[in-house]
């Protein structure tokens, strides 16, 4: 019986009080017997938590009293056991490391495409103005090996800090196409889309909510395999159930 609610959510927003937040959030999570990881940085928050539905909902009810987090919309899935071993809250330089300090999503997001629109474009093979559509996997190679969109561009990167150099090497190939950048939950493809725009690629979109939101809203259409996740479930199928 699936009694454990798993959530993932992130937001790019200035958090100059990240260290104070660390102590507060760690204490709240311990009180509610939650496990998982929360990453905090000056650029925002990224979290993966699991626990009873009551505890998860209670945590977010408290968190959303802070106006900075009032609009958080976690992606949810269920499991029959706790997929995390401990509760960690860390303060980092970036909530997703790219080593490209000019990329500041809190100052303005790249254009996003919903799961439904992405599916429709992939169904028809082009966007709404007839431009060819390609999907670009921004994840690490070992994650891609668990599953990805059919025909997705995969540069075989080993860590996200390699992504800027990969864009430079392949920029000409993407120039006349509409690019949908995607990742597990949206955080990497958000930075990736901004970077590609800054490098002069004009028709770039991020997949809103990443693969997990796509699964939630439209299922597994145009996707092959499973989606790797960073917990003991290892990977999720298009129905958001664990698939080891």
- Which residues are designated catalytic? 183
DSSP, residue by residue, 44-57: EEEEEEEE-HHHHH
Contact 133, 228 (CB under 8 A): no
Q: What are the distances in angstroms from CA 170 to CA 71, 153, 199?
A: 36, 10, 11
**Among 188, 240, 208, which Cα is nearest to 115's?**
208
Residue corresponding to tokens 């071993």: 85
φ and ψ at residue 224, rounded to 5 degrees = -115, 130
Contact 123, 90 (CB under 8 A): no
3-class secondary structure, 227: strand
């Amino acid at each position: 019986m699936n009694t454990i609610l798993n959530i993932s959510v992130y937001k790019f927003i200035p958090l100059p009080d990240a260290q104070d937040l660390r102590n507060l959030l760690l204490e709240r999570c311990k009180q509610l017997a939650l496990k998982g990881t929360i990453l905090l940085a000056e650029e925002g928050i990224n979290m993966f938590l699991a626990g009873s539905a009551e505890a998860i909902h209670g945590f977010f009810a408290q968190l959303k009293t802070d106006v900075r987090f009032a609009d958080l919309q976690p992606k949810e899935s269920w499991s029959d056991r706790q997929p995390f071993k401990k509760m960690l809250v860390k303060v980092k330089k970036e909530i997703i490391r790219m080593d490209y300090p000019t990329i500041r999503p809190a100052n303005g997001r790249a254009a996003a495409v919903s799961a439904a629109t992405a599916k429709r474009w992939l169904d028809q093979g082009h966007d709404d103005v007839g431009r060819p559509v390609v999907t670009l996997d921004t994840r690490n190679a070992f994650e891609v090996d668990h599953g990805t969109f059919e025909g997705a561009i995969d540069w075989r990167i080993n860590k996200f800090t390699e992504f800027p150099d990969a864009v430079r090497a392949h920029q000409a190939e993407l120039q006349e196409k509409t690019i949908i950048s995607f990742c597990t939950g949206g955080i990497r493809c958000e930075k990736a889309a901004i970077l590609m725009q800054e490098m002069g690629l004009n028709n770039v979109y991020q997949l809103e909510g990443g693969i997990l939101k796509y699964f939630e809203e439209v299922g597994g259409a145009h996707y092959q395999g499973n989606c790797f996740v960073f917990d003991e479930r290892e990977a999720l199928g298009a129905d958001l159930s664990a698939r080891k």
